[in-house]
Amino acid sequence: MRVELRAHGSEGPEQAKTDQTRKTPGSATQESGAARPDQARFSFDKARVQTLEAAVLAQPEVREQKVDALRQAVGKGEYAVSDTQIADAISADFGAAAGTR
């Protein structure tokens, strides 16, 4: 399977070379009788990606209001975590660790 990801308007000399050597149905470079490989083609609008990237980067790394609220609740002894929540968090943590091995 071949997957191609290309931003519109960003083709350079390497892309032009790739386009010239790409095998196409009926071309002399394709083996006769060979099955055509699966192909998927993704494209995206470079300006849209840049806009989304700027929006994400503008978000604070730490949600200060949430952290302050939790800090106050813990300080007052009002923050409680059930045994089930702890077990679920441990299980999820082990599951994530097992997936990285």
- What is the tens place of the pLDDT at every residue in 36-46? 888 888 777 89
Full DSSP string of the chain: -EEEEEETT---HHHHHHHHH---TT-TTSPTTPPPPPEEEEEE-HHHHHHHHHHHHHS-SS-HHHHHHHHHHHHTT-----HHHHHHHHHHHHHHHHHT-
Is the pLDDT confidence value at 97 over 60?
yes
0.75 surpassed by pTM: no
Is the pLDDT confidence value at 72 over 90?
yes
